Amino acid sequence: MPIPSTDPIVNIPIVTPFDEADRVDHDALGRNVERWLRTKAGGFLVGSQTGEEWALSEEEKLAVARTVKEGLTGERFLMGGIDCPSVTETLRRAEAFAEVGAEVLRVRFPRGRQNVEPYFRELLPRCPLPVLLMHQPEPARFGEAAAPAAEPEVLAAVADMENVFGYVTDHDVRFEARVRRRITTDRRFWICNGSIVLHGTLIGCNGTTTAFSNIWPDAMDELLRKGMAGEYEAARPLQELVQRIDEVMLPYLAAGVKATLRLVGFEGMRPRRPTPDVPDVVIEQLRSLLAEAGLLPG
């Protein structure tokens, strides 16, 4: 599918379902994609911290991408996630994602400030797909800002390069406002976390890719639209409810997202071993909040 030409876009960094033997459950994945297609999600990212990317082999990631692509049937677009400091290896992985049908690549900024501009100056002209830049140097810190990958001027200069689809912030909205002001081209600029969607629209964000998109894509879409229209007071109650769910869920990273999805009826929601499930008391807290949001089945 062509990438949507209008904003906002809600992108889902999808979780990876596993069966009881700790194998990727492709049947469950297909059914989960069918559910997401009934929401306002526009894109699907395979290979993210939410999707337990470091617990998957490259072959498993590509197999997941194929299953997702088959389920999309041209209705939404597929994105492949890469976190690799080597230009050569990143290009190899990019070609592999392109072969299975990805339309965009999400590439994380490399660690080491001296490497940021050289990495992208080599990568972008040779990359087979447009790149969504991911400014999240410490991806395992859900909901917390890390030290920036580089100065705002450097990040903005990379965002202005050719073959860039857009830029995803980290959690420090004050810092990211400085990046936004320095980008001279018309790039998509996405907020990284469901709890700060409204804050993101205040600095010019027009989309999101966030763990919370797995749970409630329509809420992310509504918050973006209201924020972009300046309807902040109308959006405040929904943003506060998302924040309360996030506050309970995110400390457990992907396991917390999966526990939440399990409650709303998604399949294969086990974290990959040896990551433990969340405590029962947290499950009950999530159940109560999801009931308040009207998200529980039945």
Q: Cβ atoms within 10 A of the Cβ of 35, count?
A: 14
Q: What is the mean pLDDT of residues 99-118?
A: 96
Share of the chain above pLDDT 70, in %: 99
Q: How confident is the model at residue 111 (pLDDT cuts 50, 70, 90)?
A: very high
- 45 phi and psi, to 5 degrees? -100, 125
pLDDT at res. 1: 56
Handedness of CA 189, 193, 197, 199 (dihedral sign): negative
Go through the chain and tell me how many residues it has: 298
Average pLDDT of the residues of the chain:
96
Taking the C-alpha atoms of 45, 46, 52 and 54 in order, what is their torsion angle to the nearest 10 degrees? Answer: -120
Q: What is the mean pLDDT of residues 213-239?
A: 98
Share of the chain above pLDDT 90, in %: 93
pLDDT at res. 72: 93
pLDDT at res. 124: 98
Q: How confident is the model at residue 282 (pLDDT cuts 50, 70, 90)?
A: very high
> Cα–chain-centroid distance for residue 49?
8
pLDDT at res. 140: 83
C-alpha distances out from residue 177 to 60, 129, 207, 217, 229, Å: 37, 27, 15, 24, 18
Give yes or no for residue 70 having a pLDDT over 90. Answer: yes
pLDDT at res. 74: 78
State the DSSP H helix or E strand holding residue 119, giving kind and residue range, or none if neither.
helix 116-123
In contact, 29 and 227? CB cutoff 8 Å = no
Helix (H, G, I), strand (E, B) or coil at 240: helix
Q: What is the mean pLDDT of residues 47-75?
A: 95
144 or 95, which is more confident: 95
Identify which of 92, 159, 102 has the alpha carbon closest to the alpha carbon of residue 132: 159
Q: How far apart are CA 32 and CA 16, in angstroms?
A: 10
Q: Cβ atoms within 10 A of the Cβ of 209, count?
A: 27
Q: What is the mean pLDDT of residues 119-131?
A: 98
Give yes or no for residue 75 having a pLDDT over 80. Answer: no
Tens of pLDDT, residues 230-265: 999 999 999 999 999 999 999 999 999 999 999 999
User: Tokens at residue 225, please?
Assistant: 């639209």
Q: What is the mean pLDDT of residues 9-37?
A: 98
In contact, 4 and 200? CB cutoff 8 Å = no
Strand intervals (E) in the chain: 9-13, 43-46, 77-82, 104-108, 131-134, 164-168, 188-191, 207-209
pLDDT at res. 119: 98
In the block, residue with structure tokens 């989960």: 32
Side-chain half-sphere of 99: how many Cα atoms within 13 Å?
10
Q: What is the mean pLDDT of residues 203-209?
A: 98
pLDDT at res. 144: 85
Q: How far apart are CA 91 and CA 84, in angstroms?
A: 10
Domains of the chain: 9-229 (3.20.20.70)
pTM score, whole prediction: 0.96
Give yes or no for residue 3 having a pLDDT over 60. Answer: yes
